[in-house]
Homo-oligomer: A and B are copies of this chain.
Amino acid sequence: MEKEFVFGHQNPDTDAIGTAIAYSYLQNKLGFNTEAVALGEPNDETQYALDKLGFKAPRVIEKAAPEVKAVMLVDHNEPQQSVSDIADVKVTHVVDHHRIMNFNTSDPLFYRAEAVGCTSTVVWKLFNEQGVEIPENIAGIMASAIISDTLLLKSPTTTDDDKKALEALAKIAGIDVQSYGLAMLKAGTNIAAKSEDELIDLDAKSFDLNGKTARIAQVNVVDLEEAVVRKEAFIKAMQDSSAKNGYDMFMLLITNILDSDSVAFIIGDEDAQSKFEKAFGEKLQDNEMKLSGVVSRKKQVVPPLTEAFN
């Protein structure tokens, strides 16, 4: 059987990389010939999980078509979040937990999405449905993905299915969810060692909002103030990136993973700014907005923005 790549979105997080590894393993067990690859290097949090579980980071690809004719996507479907030459390959499988946007195919395909907190929760179901045993390290990387995406089950995206999956996977992997999870999340919050340019690109996705391109980045911290003091430099980095990449607006969501609060820096023209204010029911003060209780880009940021722009 001809080889297919399995990969998550650009600027990969622990779900994008961990679930690609797990889904590739499952598909190979089912008779496919796949290789898990990535659209970027792992971030500090993901690297922590890979190291702990004894995985090498999947190799990074720039393009898919020179090597394969077909691909399987995890944790994303929107073309602008995918490999740059996604239009030149056939998508045969998607496993995801996001909205569907601008994803078009000419043929029927396998598409499995559920409104759960993490793609690995869906892949955990697929393992069970197919009766494929989950090895210890695969269970560990899937548990890491769930911990990451749900912020240790505290994000409002968390569902009962995520809780069940994490419990089952942690048991197989032999990890203590609280201690392992907190250590892993904290590994991803060391912002002192990184420039603003790096930080706004670590976990950043582009979204089509009624024809406008919005860049939405998220940075996890254990102390909001540590990021807020660097606001001026963040805004400059966001402006430079927007000019260079043609983003119509840029939002940086800084999230305190300990108390589940966020502050956002937002740039864009007047119309965009007023739509952000409408979306969140908050005033923008000097490009800054307090977003109490907001931790999920997918559930608490993108849907109200989509609505405000439509």
Residues of chain A at the chain B interface (Cβ within 8 Å): 97-115, 129, 298-299, 302-303, 306-307, 310
Name the contact of A109 in the complex, choosing from B100, B102, B109, B129 (C-beta under 8 A).
B100
| Across-interface contacts of A129 in B (CB, < 8 A) | 129
A310, chain B: closest CB distance, angstroms: 8
Going nearest first, the 4 A-B pairs with the smallest beta carbon separation are A106-B306, A108-B115, A111-B113, A99-B105
Measured in the bound complex, the distance between the Cα atoms of B298 and A40 in whole Å is 36
Interface centre among A98, A99, A104, A307, by most B CB within 10 Å? A104
Find the residue from A103, A108, A109 having the highest chain B CB count within 10 A.
Answer: A108
Decide if A111 touches B100 in the complex (CB within 8 Å): yes
Would B97 and A307 count as touching, CB distance under 8 A?
no
**Closest Cβ–Cβ distance, residue A108 to chain B (whole Å):** 4
Residues of chain B contacted by A106 (CB below 8 angstroms): 99, 302-303, 306-307, 310
Which of A100, A109, A306 is the most central at the interface, judged by chain B CB atoms within 10 Å of its CB?
A100
- Apart from A100-B105, A107-B115, A110-B114, what are 14 other A-B pairs with CB-CB below 8 Å? A97-B108, A100-B103, A101-B105, A103-B103, A106-B302, A106-B303, A106-B307, A108-B113, A108-B114, A108-B115, A108-B298, A109-B115, A110-B115, A129-B129
